[in-house]
């Protein structure tokens, strides 16, 4: 993996082109220029030999986990992150949520003709930096270019391969009545950061996206021997949507207490102003974990030992019923049944 | 894997929506409707349990190969294929070119708001059919929706995981002077089919894309014990670009004879009319293979036993020099040095 900053000063004449041209996606000379002049300086060259159609992986023993996500966030850059760091962390986190240690990523770019080459270089540098931080390599990729007005700057699809302990059983079906529900930190920052950036809103204190890799928090628990039943990162639909999905998958009731859910004053204020509910606001560096009742304290301690989950807190528990529902215990004793996100709160948030 | 046609008659009320809405990419109820109502009926549900963030793969022993490609072809449907079959076959073929037997695909969709739901269903059905034909499963996916005018109907990124014999050494660095160069069939059909369809051109006889999975042809050779040194599918840059790339990677001269390269009269006529060179015209179901000199006849026989490579022919050989070049031996004794595709012959061909 080369120094990510290289792509701003690379010796290959990528600078001949201030903008992305259709031919950069044509598979010929300009595609080769882009790969040799921008992507390889950022991501490094997998193996030593000439480029081929795919990457050969040397993986440790275990069970392979495979996942993919497309990223279409607007704007491309926002406080606390950008489409590049998002594209790495989002896919890394999907692997971590399966209990897998991320190994390798692929990156496919769909670029709009006329995109400033500097924007692409900055994005690739951010991806490389995020990959390094998460301990993964970007090993294979592809670039296509679409005509002006048929795309929106940059879309990135990353796929990830990781390796999990074959004995691990993690998923909604493993959740049991009595399980403790733990949240890794305060919610809603990613959604508010992107929204504020998109709409040019200035709040009293700038809200930074929570975008972060969650590998360390997950393995802090697994390595400590915490009996983890289910992991799920909070993304587009927010905490509420995830709890409803897991309750439905488990056929149980997931109950959280409103007062226990950390929300910063800045996010709470922004949500009130914008008419949003923090429970449905997007996150990119937060997750919930369901653990055996006796393991809750150990799980919280393990999480708090990692910077990305220093604000972890127990927020609720799993009950037998009503089956397939999620309940929010309110401040004044009033319960509220949570529903999945309906409609579209914040389009193109990731 | 369910019956692909299910997605046209599925019980889930996907038909409530004649068009794709922004909320279908929002991660809430409508995203769930789309997954349960359209994608799972087409691709089947990986494993038996509830959906989780990634797919767990049970792979045979061997070396993992990992690849990705984005597909932005226009029009979405063309004679002999569509963006769905292309997105499956293109990625399957990249795995096959590494000597890997394809196992699992991921599929990430970037949809434009307002896309007719029937178009998406038809595309998913085509992907499912192509996956079945290639012997792979679509095991994980993602859907994002972008605003009208910020996309172009459907973009699909597929990634693939396959397994190769760890002892196989296939790639440009393995090519030796004296190797035979074999082409799996006639060239240029995909490019002409898409071009004709896009521009509304009617030729005397309709040209069908060659879009096809190349797993059987590759393993027909490998299973027969053919000493294969390099495999490469011909895509965006055509045969000429691939030969230049391999010559550069090998540091040798790749020489082909113009008369030996099969081109159908329909493709030749269309190329003449449009001012295109069949050597630079795109293909999606053709490849070149470099084999040890004594293995050429056996390789051609193995290829001809498969429908997708029934027209295989030996087209040239590898010489020591001039190093890093590809040469076309012409009809009248005049040689021509081939260059990589320069500029953009046919944008958005795959």
Task: Kindly state whether residues A131 and A75 are assigned to the same domain.
Answer: yes
pLDDT band for A200, please (50, 70, 90 cuts).
confident
Task: Kindly state whether residues A181 and A160 are assigned to the same domain.
Answer: no
pLDDT band for B225, please (50, 70, 90 cuts).
very high
pLDDT band for A201, please (50, 70, 90 cuts).
confident
- pTM score, two decimals? 0.93
CATH number of the CATH domain containing B250: 3.90.650.10
In this predicted structure, the answer to whether residue B345 has a pLDDT above a threshold of 90 is no
Measured between beta carbons, which residues in chain B are less than 8 angstroms from residue A141? Answer: 68
- Interface touch A173/B340, C-beta < 8 Å: no
In this predicted structure, the answer to whether residue B203 has a pLDDT above a threshold of 80 is no
Domain around A304: 172-338
| Number of domains making up chain A | 2
Which residues make Cβ contacts (< 8 Å) with residue A214, sequence separation at least 6? A89, A92, A93, A96, A97, A184, A233, A285, A287, A308, A309
Q: Give residue-wise pLDDT tens across range B101-136.
A: 999 999 999 999 999 999 999 999 999 999 999 999
Out of A43-47, A76-80, A299-303, B82-86, least confident range: A43-47
- The minimal CB distance from A97 to the residues B50, B53, B110 is found for B53
First CA to last CA distance, chain A = 26
- Mean pLDDT, to the nearest integer, of A324-336? 91
- 10 Å Cβ neighbour count for B19? 15
Q: Does ipTM top 0.90?
A: yes
Domain-terminating residue out of A109, A129, A164: A164
A345 in a structural domain: no
Task: Kindly state whether residues B179 and B158 are assigned to the same domain.
Answer: no
Domain-terminating residue out of B133, B164, B195: B164
B318 in a structural domain: yes
B4 in a structural domain: no
Q: Chain A within 8 Å of B292 (Cβ-Cβ)? A: no
Task: Kindly state whether residues B252 and B327 are assigned to the same domain.
Answer: yes
Task: Kindly state whether residues B188 and B150 are assigned to the same domain.
Answer: no
- Mean pLDDT, to the nearest integer, of A177-182? 98
Helix residue ranges per DSSP H, A97-155: 117-134
Task: Kindly state whether residues A156 and A278 are assigned to the same domain.
Answer: no
Q: Chain A within 8 Å of B132 (Cβ-Cβ)? A: no
- Interface touch A64/B64, C-beta < 8 Å: yes
Question: Cα(A247)–Cα(A319) distance, rounded to whole angstroms?
Answer: 10
Measured between beta carbons, which residues in chain B are less than 8 angstroms from residue A241? Answer: 27-28
Q: Give residue-wise pLDDT tens across range A8-66.
A: 444 444 557 999 999 999 888 899 899 999 999 999 886 544 456 789 888 887 889 99
A9 in a structural domain: no
Task: Kindly state whether residues A147 and A224 are assigned to the same domain.
Answer: no
CATH number of the CATH domain containing A159: 3.30.1330.10
Q: Chain B within 8 Å of A275 (Cβ-Cβ)? A: no
% of chain A at pLDDT higher than 70 = 93
Q: Chain B within 8 Å of A65 (Cβ-Cβ)? A: yes
Q: Chain A within 8 Å of B323 (Cβ-Cβ)? A: no
- The minimal CB distance from B49 to the residues A59, A171, A341 is found for A171
Q: Are A338 and A258 in contact (CB under 8 A)?
A: no
- Interface touch A347/B26, C-beta < 8 Å: yes
A349 in a structural domain: no
Measured between beta carbons, which residues in chain B are less than 8 angstroms from residue A149? Answer: 149
A105 in a structural domain: yes
Q: Chain B within 8 Å of A22 (Cβ-Cβ)? A: yes
B5 in a structural domain: no
Q: Which long-range contacts (CB under 8 A, 24 or more apart) does B266-271 make?
A: B266/B192, B266/B203, B266/B204, B266/B205, B266/B207, B267/B186, B267/B187, B267/B188, B267/B189, B267/B192, B267/B207, B269/B203, B269/B204, B270/B192, B270/B195, B270/B196, B270/B201, B270/B203, B270/B207, B271/B188, B271/B192
Measured between beta carbons, which residues in chain B are less than 8 angstroms from residue A146? Answer: 72, 152, 155, 348
The pLDDT of residue B201: 81
Measured between beta carbons, which residues in chain B are less than 8 angstroms from residue A27? Answer: 235-237, 241, 282, 341
- Interface touch A347/B232, C-beta < 8 Å: no
Q: Chain B within 8 Å of A29 (Cβ-Cβ)? A: yes
The pLDDT of residue A202: 77
Residue A71, strand partner residues: A156
Mutate to test the interface with B, among A27, A32, A108, A239 (most CBs of B within 10 A): A27
Out of A73-87, A177-191, A332-346, B177-191, least confident range: A332-346
Q: Give residue-wise pLDDT tens across range A84-114.
A: 999 999 999 999 999 999 999 999 999 999 9
- Interface touch A59/B57, C-beta < 8 Å: no
Q: Chain B within 8 Å of A237 (Cβ-Cβ)? A: yes
Summary mean pLDDT of chain B:
91
Summary mean pLDDT of chain A:
91
In this predicted structure, the answer to whether residue B50 has a pLDDT above a threshold of 60 is no
- Interface touch A28/B68, C-beta < 8 Å: no
Task: Kindly state whether residues A64 and A192 are assigned to the same domain.
Answer: no
Task: Kindly state whether residues B54 and B203 are assigned to the same domain.
Answer: no
Domain-terminating residue out of B144, B164, B184: B164
Task: Kindly state whether residues B187 and B314 are assigned to the same domain.
Answer: yes
Task: Kindly state whether residues A186 and A269 are assigned to the same domain.
Answer: yes
B350 in a structural domain: no
The pLDDT of residue B52: 64
Task: Kindly state whether residues B187 and B56 are assigned to the same domain.
Answer: no
């Amino acid at each position: 993996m080369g120094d990510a900053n290289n792509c701003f000063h690379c010796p290959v004449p990528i600078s001949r082109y201030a903008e992305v041209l259709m031919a950069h996606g044509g598979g010929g000379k300009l595609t080769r220029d882009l790969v040799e002049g921008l992507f390889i300086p950022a991501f490094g060259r997998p193996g030593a030999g000439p480029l081929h159609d795919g990457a050969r992986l040397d993986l440790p023993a275990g069970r392979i986990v495979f996942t993919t996500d497309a990223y279409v966030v607007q704007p491309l850059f926002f406080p606390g992150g950008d489409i590049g760091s998002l594209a790495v962390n989002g896919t890394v986190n999907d692997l971590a949520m399966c209990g897998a240690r991320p190994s390798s990523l692929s990156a496919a770019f769909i670029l709009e003709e006329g995109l400033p080459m500097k924007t692409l270089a900055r994005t690739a540098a951010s991806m490389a930096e995020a990959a390094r931080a998460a301990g993964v390599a970007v090993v294979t990729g592809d670039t296509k270019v679409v005509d002006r007005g048929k795309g929106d700057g940059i879309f990135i699809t990353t796929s990830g391969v990781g390796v999990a302990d074959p004995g691990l059983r993690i998923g909604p079906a493993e959740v049991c009545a009595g399980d403790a529900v733990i949240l890794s930190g305060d919610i809603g920052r990613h959604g508010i950061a992107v929204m504020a950036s998109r709409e040019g809103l200035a709040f009293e204190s700038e809200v930074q996206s929570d975008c972060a890799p969650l590998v360390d928090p997950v393995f802090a628990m697994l390595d400590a021997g915490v009996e983890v039943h289910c992991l799920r990162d909070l993304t587009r639909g927010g905490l509420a949507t995830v709890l409803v999905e897991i309750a439905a998958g488990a056929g149980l009731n997931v109950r959280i207490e409103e007062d226990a859910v950390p929300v910063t004053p800045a996010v709470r204020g922004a949500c009130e102003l914008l008419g949003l509910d923090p429970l449905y606001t997007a996150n990119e560096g937060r997750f919930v974990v369901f653990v055996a009742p006796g393991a809750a304290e150990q799980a919280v301690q393990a999480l708090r030992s990692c910077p990305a989950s220093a604000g972890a807190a127990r927020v609720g528990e799993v009950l037998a019923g009503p089956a397939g529902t999620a309940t929010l215990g309110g401040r004044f004793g009033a319960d509220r049944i949570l529903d999945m996100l309906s409609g579209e709160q914040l389009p193109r948030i990731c």
